[in-house]
Each structure stands twice: as C-alpha cells, then as structure tokens.
Amino acid sequence: MRYLSLFSGIEAATVAWKPLGWTCVAVSEIEKFPCALLAHYYPNVPNLGDVTQITLEQIKALGRIDLVVFGSPCQDLSVAGKRKGLDGERSGLFFAAIRIIRWAKQFCQCRFALWENVPGAFSSNEGADFAAVVEQMAGCRNISTPKNGWGSEGAAVGYYGLLEWAVLDAQWFGVTQRRKRVFALIDFGNWWDRSPILLEPESMRGNPTQSGREKKDNSTIVAKCLTRRGAGGLNQDPETANFVVHGTQDPIVNDDLAHCLGRNRGRENAIYACSATKLNATTINTITKSYGSGGADLETKPLLLTTTDTAATLTKGFGDRGVDADQIANGNCAIQANKVRRLTPLECERLQGFPDNYTNIPGASDTPRYSALGNSMAVPVMRWIGERIAQVLGEAV
C-alpha cells in the first residue's frame, strides 16, 4: 500500500503502518516542530507543505496512491471550541483535502481515503457539518441529519463509493487513555464483495489482544477540568500552570486510564497525575479551591482511589462551587507526595502509543512535544484500521 498523509503532524499513520510494509509517498505539514520531526525520521519523504497550495502536478508526480489519510483540524468542530463548523478557517481545510483526494482518485488510482476527527463533528451545526462530510466523501446529495442524530457508526453509498464511519476509543486498543475519535473511510473500489472495515458489533469493537497486554509502568491518572469560577476566577493556561495536557471529553477518573490528550487554548480538561499503583481503596487528600478566594485559600478533603478497571466520573461540587470533595473526586487536582505534577512527554507518548522518546528529537523542548502529541492520533487505533484494510485486500498482516 502506498499512502499520502495530509495534516501529517508527527505521523502516527506511518508509525502504525510501517510494520505492515506500507509506504508513505508524501506528507503535508506546516507547523515548525512536526516538520522538524518529519525531516528527522523521514528525510526521504517529501513534505508538500500547506494543503491549500498543493497542485495537481505535485499529486501526479507521486505515482500510484492507494490511500489518502487526513485528520483535518478539529478546532471548529470540537465541543470545546466556538463551533464554527466546516465554515471555520481551520476545520474548513477539510475541503482542501477533498480536492486532493479527488485528484488522487482520478489520476493516481486511489482506492481509499481515511478521515479522523473529534466526535463533536456529529453535532456541529446540528449535524449539518457531518452531513457535508458524507456528501463530499461519498458523493451523496441532499443528506440530512437523522432524526436521532448520527449515533456512533454508520454507512452511506454514493456516487464515489461506500463510506463507513465509526467512533473508536483508544482505550480498547492497548493504550491507557480514553480518547474517542470519529473515523470515516471511503472505498472507491469494489466494496460490494468485501467485509466491512470499520463496522463491527459493539461487543467486538476494539483490539482485545492489545487491550489485555502487559502495561508499562506508569502513574495513575486523575483528570478534572479547571474552569473560571463566578467569583474566584481560575482559568489557567496549560503552559504556565500545573498542567499541560488536556482533552475534549467529560473528565473521568480511573486508576489506569488517562483522560484524552488534546489542546484548545486551555479550554479543555486538564490531566493531573498521582502515583497510586500501590493503593487499593486507600484514602489520600485532594486539593480544592475555595469559592471566591481566587485560589489562594486551599483546603484538603479526603479522596478515595480504587484499583478497579473503571471508576466513576468526576463531578462538580454542590451549586457548581467546586469546594466539596467526595470519594469520586470533586477536587480540582490529585497529589503525589503532597504536590501536583504534570505528565512527562514520555508518558504522553505512551498514552498515544508512540515509541518512547519518539518526539525527543535534537533541540526539542517539552512544550511543542506536548502540543504535537495532543494533536496526534492514537497509533494502535491507526494500526488496527490498517490491518483491517490489509485483510480485506488479502494482504498478509
């Protein structure tokens, strides 16, 4: 398989698919740190740069392209953003990718295109944005949002081929992170004589072999969103406060699963870490912010941690005051030896399934490493999708 990667980031697709023997014919990235990483690891793979500036001649020069993979920016689709949808400057880059995919289909024998984004795409503009995604990828017309919403999976047949989509959660693919993402795969070829790729019975979704493997030693993760309070005011930037990595879903506490990585100018859920690998129903303290104090008056209340596989969701204090902590963690953070610590870049790499120190290229500082990892895809999920594609094509996996 030969694939073209758009919005490449730090190239989770290549880390996932290289073991399958697949070849990346070109990448497309403009951010400084990801470009440096791509040049470091893949010096012989051309970087086409800005997707809006890629020409037909450049695509033709790549030769055969079997698949185009693209995770177009999600800021305008995320529930944590302003929800401008596909009309937003960044998420609107989706249409630039569609133009390139159609060139690849017409001139480079492209069979597949794989899109990754946040689940907020389903509800953006009351579902109309995902309807546009279906129309553009499958070649359907006048698609309307289903009465009960888009759900978590589906399929559509259009002029261009069969489009499958599904929400996949990284925690079921061998990493200790809850990270749900929408994947949509269009098949321009003979889709009618193959088995589904993304669609599975709910009870079978994921990769049980990877999910059950022995885990590397890492810290217990506890997440809680820090938000501005009515009187106190606590809206910390992730690069200047006590946390760095944050995500788009509701915060969840678990002794083994971290909240999803992401970044959106500090508006998403922050990850805190505490070492609780030896705790079993053991009470520790959590720091909470007193209402109206501006964060200066801190008090401690008991927090009960357990080592079960799934724990309860973090909840706010009574009246949204955030001062009452109970056994399912109403506090704003967790502690390790009486002090807060942030996740290390190495831990974030493991949460996304990258090799240790993958982002630790010469001259790299922590800040761009955090950012790039938060924007990336989960490697094991991409690997599973690649294996499924290989299986329907009769390739050895």
CA distances from 384 to 13, 131, 198, 335 (A): 11, 26, 10, 35
Find tokens 């589906």 and name the residue: 154
CA distance 277 to 237: 29
Does residue 80 contact residue 248 with C-beta atoms inside 8 Å? yes
Q: What angle do CA 391, 183, 98 make, to 5 degrees?
A: 100
Does residue 97 contact residue 133 with C-beta atoms inside 8 Å? no
3-state SS of 227-283 is CCCCCCCCCCCCCCCCCCCEECCCCEEECCCEECCCCCCCCCEEEEEECCCCCCCEE
Q: Which of 74, 225, 274, 348 is catalytic?
A: 74
CA distance 386 to 130: 23
Catalytic, 35? Answer no
SS3 295: coil
Give, as one character, the DSSP assignment of residue 137: H
Q: How many CB atoms lie within 10 A of CB 220?
A: 22
Q: Which two tokens stand for residue 192?
A: 């009618």
Q: Which residues are catalytic?
A: 74
